[in-house]
Homo-oligomer: A and B are copies of this chain.
Amino acid sequence: MSLIVQKFGGSSVANAERVMNVAKIVTDTYKAGNDVIVVVSAQGDTTDDLIAKAMEINQKPSKREMDMLLSSGEQISIALLAMAIEKLGCPVISLLGWQAGFNTNSTYGSARIKKINTERLKNEVNKKKIVVVAGFQGICKYDDVTTLGRGGSDSSAVAIAAALHADRCQIFTDVEGVYTADPRKVKNAEKLSEITYDEMLELATLGAQVLNNRSVEIAKKYNVELEVLSSLKRANGTIVKEVTKMETMYIRGVTKDSNVARISIIGVKDVPGIAFKIFSRLAASNINVDIILQSVGRDSTKDIAFTVSRDNAEKSVELLENYDVLGGAKIKCDTDVAKISVVGAGMESHPGTAATMFEALYGADINIQMISTSEIKISVLIDSKDADRAVSAVHAAFFPEVS
């Protein structure tokens, strides 16, 4: 007998029919002899609807009251799912974040889980009940309701799996697993049967949008075996774990990230400490910088370019334009860019990876603006209009069509 944690996102419980479908998956797992804890998000567009209601009243509500408002969404979905499970004849109980013991810090709107008091969760599981837990929420030391921020339900599920040493944490989504590229756009995309935490982290960061990044970090830290699979089609998904068995493919996937902007600082004085001053100023405003490129100095000035997420672009430009250290340097911002990446732990032992990628882009007549590499990733920045073509071309180079 195993303890299995299952997580279902908002689209999986969007209406009565889908709630019943989830109840079927959960009760089948339970009837097969497993203990089951289920984590659910708010139904479909509930969160957006609640935000719209708030905006009608106050454009800048406090985050504390916003958390109070938004956490009602999961409350509705856990109650409905519990009723669906009752209907299928299995013992069940729903628990809110605070009832399930989720203690967080008090950063309303994007709280971090500090600890799970597992007493009640364990009690209910021991009573042979299916436990349905509200994802995305907890309480802070002031006994206030907090939310974990976007994708927080994944973290809730993984944290429960870690705290209770669950045998597996299944993340149900509307895709069948992790693919070598977006299957809706690249015809030859293949589903991966296994992937390592580090590879998954690179893919999540790069916009694969399958798993929330923080949840993968927690899974890696506590060695929780994850499975990403479909709530609509019963089939094996992709297992995420520490070490995977060697597969023939050494590249795990090709991704596109359009949430990126390039900031260029042109003609900054070529003296020591400039880069430090620029990036510490951005860091102080919580702006994460991704790819950085610095030109070789010409005369007494040089150029520095870097990428940030698109929603940080305006703020970055503002911070730099009002920065006396930069003197008369010109600040430019380009949002018509996209980042294309190949990810794979096998890359280290395959020196030709970058060359293969660049050749594919050259063959498709696509210009590379910036390059960044890590041990398991190569990213390039290109014009956003070329992005989908670039993914197809690079994917074809690494995963030749079997004909």
CA distance A19 to B120 in the complex (A): 37
Interface of A is mostly: helix
In the complex, A321 has a CB within 8 A of chain B = no
Beta-carbon nearest neighbor of A54 in chain B: B83
Q: How many copies does the complex hold?
A: 2
Please encode chain A, from 137 to 156, with 1 for each CB lying within 8 Å of some chain B CB and 0 for all others.
Answer: 00000011100000000000
Of A63-71, A170-178, A348-356, which binds chain B? A63-71
In the complex, A84 has a CB within 8 A of chain B = yes
* Residues on B with beta carbons closer than 8 Å to the beta carbon of A94: 65, 68
Please encode chain A, from 57 to 78, with 1 for each CB lying within 8 Å of some chain B CB and 0 for all others.
Answer: 1100110111011011001101
In the complex, A345 has a CB within 8 A of chain B = no
Pairwise interchain contact B76-A62, C-beta atoms closer than 8 A: no
* Residues on B with beta carbons closer than 8 Å to the beta carbon of A16: 53, 56-57
* Residues on B with beta carbons closer than 8 Å to the beta carbon of A190: none
CA distance A96 to B98 in the complex (A): 12
Query: With A58-B84, A96-B145 in contact, is A69–B75 under 8 Å at CB?
Result: yes
Query: With A19-B57, A72-B72, A86-B65 in contact, is A143–B79 under 8 Å at CB?
Result: no
Pairwise interchain contact A72-B76, C-beta atoms closer than 8 A: yes
* Residues on B with beta carbons closer than 8 Å to the beta carbon of A65: 79, 82-83, 86, 94
In the complex, A20 has a CB within 8 A of chain B = yes
In the complex, A50 has a CB within 8 A of chain B = yes
CA distance A250 to B19 in the complex (A): 58
Least distance between A181 CB and chain B CB atoms (Å): 37
Least distance between A63 CB and chain B CB atoms (Å): 11
Which of the four size classes fits the interface of chain A? 35 or more
Residue of B58, B83, B99 near A61 (CB, 8 A) is B83
* Residues on B with beta carbons closer than 8 Å to the beta carbon of A315: none
CA distance A80 to B80 in the complex (A): 23
* Residues on B with beta carbons closer than 8 Å to the beta carbon of A54: 79-80, 83
CA distance A87 to B56 in the complex (A): 11
CA distance A69 to B132 in the complex (A): 13
Query: With A53-B16, A56-B16 in contact, is A62–B78 under 8 Å at CB?
Result: no
Please encode chain A, from 247 to 262, with 1 for each CB lying within 8 Å of some chain B CB and 0 for all others.
Answer: 0000000000000000
> Known contacts A62-B82, A64-B93, A72-B79; can you find 11 more A-B pairs with CB under 8 A?
A54-B79, A58-B83, A62-B83, A65-B94, A66-B83, A68-B78, A69-B76, A71-B75, A72-B75, A72-B76, A75-B75
Closest 7 A/B residue pairs (Cβ): A69-B79, A16-B56, A61-B83, A58-B83, A68-B79, A72-B72, A72-B75
